[in-house]
């Protein structure tokens, strides 16, 4: 029999452990259909629901999303083309479903559908990708750090001429000799380099705050604010590159010039995922046009198959039309009878006695 080791090295019978594991997996297996069924969409009569919108030889499919425990939305496809949304709601008698054919209601449903489908998560992933690009950009600024250290600015503050002078002269082997050789103007350039790199630091720090706000709200307004926070980064980067120290006193920083384009692509993707969640109007309008065209196609097909029956069915849909038609028939019959009686009662030609 298999033995298990206790912490003190003694052996124990492994049977109770094996039995417990077997019981656990048995219970999990028994409950799995119930757990799986909780997330399954309701079983609806899609043949009947889709019939008014598809021709006889066309197929249909649906893509469901769960909005809440009481509500599901389904995107109906006919021959692979999205037609409209259907909604199923739980009532006391079970699930009731209907096609959504009101534009305002459709616009709201479109927003719920895409949100439940994961569009917000995809927008957040795009924001994550954008900020990852900026963090990599910031991490590549090693040349700046080495230059600041050589100038003494990594050890002492540099906020005015006097403090920058002291910082520079703390670098005995590099900055001090250069300052002594180039005079007062060199200290002002040290100060300017400190200011420009600090502005880049501040700009990158603000993008972190803007990113966090955009990620939390996932709104186009916050994404626009995040995008606006990027402009100072590119501007400050250009100023550092243009400084007289870059490529002369210090090695020129290397900034990946393609970063800005990649970040814009990520933000555009985020907005694209977000658009149907924030404004479902365009998609709802397309569904309304598709619904109208579909109903006309189906009506034409049925008219070709049974023209007389469809005319009668159309007339039967309105009782007033039947009444008017019947009245018209009665009036025409009475006119015909009256005309016949008048014709028969007319005097015959040559029927009188001669004088």
What are the extents of the domains in the chain?
42-119+278-308, 141-255
pLDDT digits (tens, 9 = 90+) for 257-315: 899 999 999 999 999 999 989 988 889 999 999 999 999 999 998 888 766 555 555 55
Contact call for residues 85 and 113 (beta carbons, < 8 A): yes
The DSSP string of 187-249 is HHHHHHHHHHHHHHHHHHHHHHHHHHHHHHH--HHHHHHHHHTTHHHHHHHHHHHHSTTBTTT
The H-assigned helical ranges of 39-118 are 46-50, 103-117
| Confidence grade of residue 8 (pLDDT, cut at 50, 70, 90) | very low
C-alpha–C-alpha distance, residues 104 and 83, integer Å: 16
Whole-number pLDDT of residue 140: 92
Least confident of 31-40, 190-199, 243-252, 339-348: 31-40
C-alpha–C-alpha distance, residues 172 and 70, integer Å: 75
Burial call 128-145: b when 16+ CB within 10 Å, e when fewer: ebbbebbeebbeebebbe
pLDDT digits (tens, 9 = 90+) for 71-111: 999 999 999 999 999 999 998 888 999 999 899 999 999 99
Whole-number pLDDT of residue 334: 74
Longest dimension (CA), the chain: 160
Whole-number pLDDT of residue 331: 66
Average pLDDT, the chain: 83
Whole-number pLDDT of residue 15: 54
12 secondary structure, DSSP code: E
| Confidence grade of residue 336 (pLDDT, cut at 50, 70, 90) | confident
Q: Is the pLDDT of residue 338 over 90?
A: no
pLDDT digits (tens, 9 = 90+) for 151-188: 999 889 999 999 999 999 999 999 999 999 999 999 99
Burial label, 251 (beta-carbon count in 10 A; 0-12, 13-18, 19+): middle
Q: Between residues 126 and 28, which one has the greater pLDDT?
A: 126
């Amino acid at each position: 029999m298999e033995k298990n080791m206790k912490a003190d090295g003694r052996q124990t019978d492994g049977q109770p452990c094996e039995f417990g594991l077997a019981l656990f997996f048995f219970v999990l297996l028994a409950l799995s259909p119930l757990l799986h069924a909780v997330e399954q969409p309701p079983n609806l009569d899609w043949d009947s629901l889709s019939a008014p919108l598809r021709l006889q030889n066309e197929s249909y499919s649906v893509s469901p999303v769960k909005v809440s425990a009481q509500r599901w939305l389904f995107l109906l496809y006919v021959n692979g083309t999205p037609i409209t949304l259907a909604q199923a709601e739980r009532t006391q008698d079970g699930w009731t479903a209907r096609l959504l054919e009101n534009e305002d209601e459709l616009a709201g449903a479109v927003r719920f559908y895409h949100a439940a489908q994961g569009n917000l998560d995809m927008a957040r992933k795009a924001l994550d990708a954008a900020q990852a690009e900026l963090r990599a950009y910031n991490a590549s600024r090693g040349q700046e750090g080495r230059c600041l250290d050589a100038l003494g600015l990594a050890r002492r503050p540099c906020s005015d001429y006097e403090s920058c002078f002291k910082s520079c002269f703390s670098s005995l082997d590099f900055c001090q000799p250069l300052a002594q050789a180039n005079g007062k103007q060199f200290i002002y350039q040290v100060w300017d380099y400190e200011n420009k790199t600090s502005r880049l630091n501040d700009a990158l720090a603000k993008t972190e705050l803007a990113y966090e706000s955009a990620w939390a709200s996932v709104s186009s307004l916050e994404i626009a604010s995040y995008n606006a926070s990027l402009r100072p980064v590119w501007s400050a980067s250009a100023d550092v590159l243009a400084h007289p120290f870059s490529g002369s006193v210090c090695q020129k920083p290397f900034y990946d010039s393609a970063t800005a384009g990649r970040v814009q692509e990520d933000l555009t993707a985020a907005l694209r995922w977000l658009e149907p969640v924030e404004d479902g109007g365009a998609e709802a309008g397309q569904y309304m046009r598709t619904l109208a065209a579909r109903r006309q196609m189906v009506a034409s097909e049925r008219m070709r198959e049974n023209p007389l029956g469809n005319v009668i069915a159309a007339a039967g849909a309105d009782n007033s039309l039947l009444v008017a038609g019947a009245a018209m028939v009665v009036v025409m019959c009475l006119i015909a009878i009256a005309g016949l009686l008048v014709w028969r009662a007319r005097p015959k030609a040559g029927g009188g006695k001669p004088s």
